[in-house]
Amino acid sequence: MIDFARINAAALTSLPVLLSRWLPDGRREGGEWVARNPRRADRKPGSFSVNMTTGKWADFATGDRGGDVVSLAAFLSGTGQVEAAHSLADMLGVR
């Protein structure tokens, strides 16, 4: 079984590093990381953001959204939640 809660908790503690790696053109604006959505032809940052406290994210131009860091990893990599959770757990050393 995958402990999504544990993986998400570990990911939240490393979220600034993860976001700068996954969305390198982004920037912190208050409690949000604002970036271009790499999954579409997004011209400028603004409609895609990640809450730095909760990991919730949304692209307000397309309606894509998720409630945690695992769902963000899945969205950005184009994989499912389980594969994203395994990759994130490996990256963070969560066992």
Report DSSP letters for 6-33, one per residue: HHHHHHHHTHHHHHHHHSTT-EEETTEE
Measured between alpha carbons, how far is residue 78 from residues 35, 83, 89 in Å? Answer: 18, 10, 17
- Residue type at position 2: I
d(CA 89, CA 79) in angstroms, rounded, equals 15
Average pLDDT over residues 9-33: 95
| Per-residue confidence (pLDDT) for residue 47, from 0 to 100 | 85
Closest CA to 35 of 72, 90, 68, 84: 72
- Predicted confidence at residue 41, as pLDDT, reads 76
Domains in the chain, start-ordered, CATH in brackets? 4-92 (3.90.580.10)
Which tokens go with 84?
A: 């994203």
44-95 tens-digit pLDDT: 777 899 999 999 999 988 899 999 999 999 999 999 999 999 999 999 999 7
pLDDT at 1 over 90: no
